[in-house]
Amino acid sequence: MLNNHLWYKDAVFYEVYVRAFYDSNGDGHGDLAGLTQKLDYIKDLGVDCIWLLPTYPSPLKDDGYDIADYYDVHPDFGTLEDFKTLIDAVHKRGMRIITDLVLNHTSDQHHWFQEARSDPASPYRDYYVWSDSQERYKEARIIFVDTEDSNWAWDEEAGQYYWHRFYSSQPDLNFDNPKVREEMFKALKFWLDMGIDGFRADAIPYLYEREGTNCENLPETHAFIKEVRAYMDEHHPECILLGEANQWPEDVRPYFADGDELHMNFHFPIMPRLYMALHQGDVSSIKEILARTPEIPENSQWCIFLRNHDELTLEMVEEDEREWMWQAYAPEERMRLNLGIRRRLAPLLSNDLSKLLLANSLLLTLPGSPIIYYGDEIGMGDNIWLEDRNGVRTPMQWDSSPNGGFSTALNGSLYAPLVDSKEYRPSVISVAMQQADPTSLLNRLKHMISVRKAHPAFGRGDFTWEASITNTSIAAYWRSYEGQQILVLQNLSKEDQLINLEMNHVKGNSLQDILTSQKLGLKKNDITITLSAFEYHWYLLDRGDY
């Protein structure tokens, strides 16, 4: 029996943007009740844990990452009652649900900031970071480079500058103030007591500022996370913290600490390298980044993903690699945003089913727990003509009825238009069509997920490259856990590859493809196989008499 406290090591995650998922009341916005109605779909896909983008009251200048009240739900999305109903319905289906918790900043519409700016004597003034000049913390980089040219914004009412790492409508909280830390504790307790299974901790590296540093990953931040973790371990031992630290692996490693900070962290740098590998037909970039990835404690887990609600970030690649990625995947200016690419998975991979399946094979077999971004399981398209990151946040395409089955609102009153390009519109790409087709991306992915879940080696196992494969077009590795050994073989290139596997180090009778049930005998130690373009196999070693 697997240790339940470590459920997140075996879990498949699914990221949901509530506004986009399903509109239950016909007002043009997806809502919590709508998501609740669609839980069976998510369960059926094989998902263990849902991650919700922020649903708090907010002016939505950054789609909810600008929180105006930590204790309520945005009226477009429903009520606290709807939230509780959702949590219960998720749990009833044996799934879990985590929500985004934005610790670093609030909206400028939050009453703390409103009072802080209007009254220097207000107790809330010191909730934020103020300055008379823009000279402080000059070494901190700007994140939203397309919109912001400083991390300081002048506030007319306050007569001072305030600090913000993201949009200027998102003032950073002052974590040096113990009251702020208390407020954040109070907020997270509120949601934990309601039954949430944990948080995706947004923008975690930026909580504190210190002169002479880049204001990221500071020791004070680690101390705060340790306190949160200790609280959760004591009161909610099965709840998790998933950190959003878009950093190099060696800088993320400290967030796992001794297994007493964040349970999980996104592995940001591996993501663009999966795309590099797929475009170059060469595994080397994946190998390099994994070699650079430190070991993590037993109770910790990486989270890997192909896409999410943001631009495909290219912060964790070298400059020449970024240029290359832009040329390869974002040839048009509109496809680029900040240091990234605002496109969805299917358009990035030319809507090529075999490439999409291979990308998902990597996602489901490399070390870490996978997160699937809503809509990518059916290969939804994007709309680069929408502003900011909205082009990858369009309504979910349920069927080919009006509004793609997302909403009964009049067309034009939806929060965003459906994708209507020839290749990706709901009459071509929808859940209903793919459910009916056994060979669809949705059904193939569902099968892969179920096979992954039946084999704990994927979530918990050691990872080793198969040394006899020197052909760099092939990603070949073993996942091994308590006697279960799985060899994953993937051809990243668009050409057939003839490979020779030397199996003298392997003790077993045969390799069984757990996706297709085909067997490869191991009578000889050398096996020669041809893998066609983008072909993949997950071979379980049958140890037979060994």
Of the pair 30, 404, the CB lying nearest ligand NOJ is at 30
Instruction: Tell me which residue has tokens 């390869």.
Output: 328
The whole-angstrom separation of Cα 4 and Cα 161 is 48
Q: Is 202 a catalytic residue?
A: yes
Rounded to whole angstroms, the Cα distance separating 497 from 473 reads: 8
Answer yes or no whether residue 202 interacts with ligand NOJ by CB under 6 A. Answer: yes
Phi-psi region of 102 (alpha: psi -120 to 50; beta: other; left: phi over 0): beta
- Of the pair 246, 403, the CB lying nearest ligand NOJ is at 246
Distance of CA 170 to the CA centre of its chain: 22
Cβ-based burial of 416 (10 A; exposed 0-12, middle 13-18, buried ≥19) = middle
List the beta bridge partners of residue 391: none
8-state DSSP, 128: B
Least distance (Å) between residue 158 CB and ligand NOJ: 22
In the set 35, 203, 345, 349, which binds ligand NOJ (CB under 6 A)? 203
Cβ-closest residue to ligand NOJ?
65
Nearest to 528 by CA among 479, 494, 492, 489: 489
CB of 203 to ligand NOJ, least distance (A): 5
Q: Nearest Cα to 491, choosing from 518, 530, 444?
A: 530
Tokens encoding 330: 């974002």
Distance CA 403, CA 414 (A): 8
CB 277 within 8 A of CB 254: no
Task: CB nearer to ligand NOJ: give 209 or 466.
Answer: 209
Residue placing its CB nearer to ligand NOJ in the complex, 309 or 342 = 309
d(CA 59, CA 374): 23
CA gap 86, 233 in Å, rounded: 24
Q: Which of 488, 524, 496, 495 is nearest to 508 (CA)?
A: 524
Q: Does 337 bind ligand NOJ (CB under 6 A)?
A: no
If the CB atoms of residues 384 and 429 are measured against ligand NOJ, the closer one turns out to be 384
* DSSP three-state, residue 378: coil
Q: How far is the CB of 52 from ligand NOJ (least distance, A)?
A: 13
Cα–Cα distance list, 420 to 59, 326, 387, 398, 399 (Å)? 28, 24, 16, 14, 13
244 has catalytic annotation: yes
Instruction: Pick the binder of ligand NOJ from 108, 216, 310, 311 (CB under 6 A).
Output: 310
* Residue 264 or 442 having the CB closest to ligand NOJ: 264
DSSP 8-state assignment for residue 272: H
Task: Report the nearest approach of ligand NOJ to the CB of residue 467 (Å).
Answer: 38
Output 51 or 539, the one with its CB closest to ligand NOJ.
51
Residue from 87, 102, 366, 442 in contact with ligand NOJ (CB under 6 A): 102
Minimum CB distance to ligand NOJ smaller for 65 or for 374? 65
- Of 124 and 166, which has the nearer Cβ to ligand NOJ? 166
Site for ligand NOJ in 16-45 (CB under 6 A): none
Q: How many Å apart are CA 385 and CA 364, to the nearest integer?
A: 31
Residue 495 DSSP one-character state: S
Identity at 290, one-letter amino acid code: L
Q: How far is the CB of 167 from ligand NOJ (least distance, A)?
A: 8
Q: Give the CA distances from residue 111 to residues 116, 174, 331, 390, in Å, rounded to whole numbers and listed in that order.
A: 8, 15, 43, 27
Least Å distance, CB 504 to ligand NOJ, is 47
Cα dist from 1 to 4, 161, 298, 440, 457, whole Å: 8, 56, 17, 33, 14
Task: Say whether residue 162 binds ligand NOJ (CB under 6 A).
Answer: no
* Residues 260 and 283 sit within 8 Å (Cβ to Cβ): no
Scan residues 494-533 and list those touching ligand NOJ (CB under 6 A): none
The one catalytic residue among 100, 244, 376, 382: 244
Q: How far is the CB of 89 from ligand NOJ (least distance, A)?
A: 26
Q: Which of residues 440-499 bind ligand NOJ (CB under 6 A)?
A: none
Closest CB 157 distance from ligand NOJ, rounded Å: 23
Size of residue set near ligand NOJ by CB under 6 A: 9
Window 240 to 299, contacts with ligand NOJ (CB under 6 A): 244
| Contact residue for ligand NOJ among 31, 62, 261, 382 (CB under 6 A) | 62
Q: C-alpha angle with apex 392: 386 to 393, nearest 5 degrees? A: 90
Among 56, 166, 305, 374, binds ligand NOJ (CB under 6 A): 166
- What distance lies between CA 459 and its chain's CA centroid? 16
Among 21, 65, 206, 208, binds ligand NOJ (CB under 6 A): 65
How far apart are CB 388 and ligand NOJ at their closest, in Å? 9
Neighbouring CB atoms inside 10 A of 20's CB total 25
Minimum distance, C-beta of residue 371 to ligand NOJ, in the bound complex (Å): 12
Round to the nearest angstrom and report the end-to-end CA distance of the chain. 24
Which of 23, 100, 197, 202 is catalytic? The answer is: 202
Closer to ligand NOJ at the Cβ: 13 or 166? 166
Q: Residue numbers of the site for ligand NOJ (CB under 6 A)?
A: 62, 65, 102, 166, 202-203, 244, 309-310
Active site residues: 202, 244
